[in-house]
Structure 1
Amino acid sequence: MSDYCGGCRYDPRKRLGDKACPFTAGYWAFLSTNRPRIPANARMARTMKQMERLNDLDAVVDQEKRRGSDPP
């Protein structure tokens, strides 16, 4: 693993807020939005269980929708 995030202004441990990493939050928002299209298989089972335990998932999805619609 490398440290691509070393100089980044975002925090990869945060899903919400101004410092929330767009890759981390975007990952969970993508999975949540596309949940019906993701097949049940062993490779995704653990990830989907983790997503079910996120208590801020709705807020993350809303944030990423806003982030995607914000002008550059």
Structure 2
Amino acid sequence: MVLDPLEEDKDKYQKLYQNFRMKINDQKDGYDITYEEFLKPVVQMPEAEYIKCIRSSLAASKVFLKRFP
């Protein structure tokens, strides 16, 4: 799957992304669960919303790459 940067509702999804990223970072040894199990207890959102969060983080990276080629 190829993801494009998110264009709409970026602020909303960036906040959600930061929240579940902190949860992931707190788990130093990682998770030994399936993707579906990861979405429910860790991310706590449907897959479509999770993908939008990931896409919102891509937009920020794209800006960084434009500044520093």
Q: Is TM-score (shorter-chain normalized) higher than 0.5?
A: no
Which of the two has greater helix per residue?
2
TM-score (normalizing by structure 2): 0.36
* Higher RCO (CA 8 Å, separation ≥ 6 residues): 2
